[in-house]
Chain A
Amino acid sequence: MQEAAAGDGPEQEAQWIRRMAEGDREAFERLFHAYQRRVFAYIWRLLNDTPLAEELTNDVLVEVWKGAKRFRGQGKPSSWIFGIAHHKVLDQMRRRRPRTAGIEEMFRMADPAEGPEAQALRQDERAALQAALARLSPEHREVLELTFYQGCSVEEIARITDCPPNTVKTRMFYARKKLREMLEKP
């Protein structure tokens, strides 16, 4: 996965988890620092709610502590951790509809160094892409998120989302198809 903290490979992470299983708080802190932003970003992009994303990030990492003894190194630690996050997000989605990005948030992203015309054009593109992403189903958004933001492989996504690799590929195909259709519409 792409956003891992520098130098923290799967081996190192698996070692932290083994130490956590023995009650090592320092190992937990290290894993927490390596993952809190990644897990938070993943949840935030799917739910678009900062306090809720913080709460769930916390829940996920505490769950990792609780389940450290069960981790047998059968996959990458990141797949296991994002798998826990995936289930937390699904639970939330069942309870509420995700909030789509507000218009104020989109304007806040404008780059002040650009000229007004370029800025307007980019803002149009940005708004269109964000609107299209927000209209995708959670499964389609998630496969894009895990592929392009988290850098996951097909197998990792399959493990995280608890579905066969072929389903991951199919979801990616339809996610891109729908995005293309939405972005091509005038």
Chain B
Amino acid sequence: MNHHEILEMLPWYANASLDEPTRRSVEAHLRECAECARELEEIEKLERSMKEFAAPVPEPSPFLLTRAKAAIEDYERGRWWPAIPSFARAVMAAQLVLIVALAGGVVYLKQPGGGFTTLSGPTGQAGAGPRLTVAFQAGVSEELARQTILELRGTIVGGPSALGLYTIQLPDGAGLGAALARLRENQRVIRFAQKAAD
């Protein structure tokens, strides 16, 4: 190392960061070179002044570690997807597409017609069986009347009239005679039952 190279390295001789061979070369040169020795004195003075006179560094917040750990957890939560092997990602993506397609199909199939049911139940019985005219005993509860009609799988399609008569529609294939006999036996509920006029 020549004089100029050693002169340049003096700040790092002063801070003791030179490797051993370089440090020995500098020390040997310093014993012979007055200019470098003076320069070193200046550098050491500057280093002392900087350490002594520099504004004291404030203490960082004691919550820095907590903040850093929270940032790390956020980061780790955000990178679960890339951490999954690529073949597993492909499988998961395919499953997701399938689920979305199935859900879409279900929604689509539910759209036409029967998307809702009214509280009054189905109206009319296309191609239905015979009709009956029925009068209930006074004071029969709605529940009892309903149960009696449902046992015949019938539907009230008319009434009550001014005389308290109801028209009951029986399902297709239901026997008229059997239905009338059953109703007439049930005198606790039924006051009157006959085939409805056509």
Contacts and interface: CB of A to CB of B under 8 A. Distances in A.
Given A66-B75, A147-B12, A154-B12, A54 B65 contact: no
B68 A62 contact: yes
Contact of A61 (B57, B68, B76): B68
Contact of B53 (A62, A125, A173, A176): A125
A169 B64 CA distance: 35
Contacts of A2: 15
Nearest to B17: A153
A11 to B, nearest CB: 18
Interface residues of B, number: 32
A148 B51 contact: yes
B138 interface: no
Interface in B1-15: 8-9, 11-12, 15
B49 A129 contact: yes
Q: Is the interface of B mostly helix, strand, loop or mixed?
A: helix
Contact of B50 (A101, A144, A156): A144
Interface in A123-158: 125-126, 129-130, 133, 144, 147-149, 151-154, 156
Nearest to B47: A148
Interface string A26-39: 00110011001100
Given A147-B15, A176-B43, A179-B46, A130 B54 contact: yes
B104 interface: no
Nearest to A106: B55
Contact of A173 (B8, B46, B56): B8
Interface residues of A, number: 48
A152 B17 contact: yes
B60 interface: yes
Given A101-B55, A176-B43, A54 B64 contact: yes
B64 A109 contact: no
B118 interface: no
Interface string A154-169: 1010000000000001
B18 interface: yes
B18 to A, nearest CB: 7
A169 B61 CA distance: 35
Nearest to A179: B46
A151 to B, nearest CB: 5
A84 to B, nearest CB: 13
Of the listed residues B49, B51, B55, the one surrounded by the most CB atoms of chain A closer than 10 A to its CB is B55
A80 interface: no
A105 B58 CA distance: 11
Contact of B72 (A25, A33, A147, A154): A25
A130 B55 contact: yes
A185 to B, nearest CB: 16
Given A129-B50, A154-B12, A40 B57 contact: yes
A65 interface: yes
Contacts of A25: 69, 72
Given A149-B50, A151-B15, 13 more contacts: A32-B64, A37-B60, A53-B60, A62-B68, A65-B72, A65-B75, A101-B55, A125-B53, A130-B53, A148-B11, A149-B54, A172-B8, A176-B11
| Closest 3 pairs between A and B when the two form their complex, measured CB to CB | A153-B17, A126-B53, A40-B60
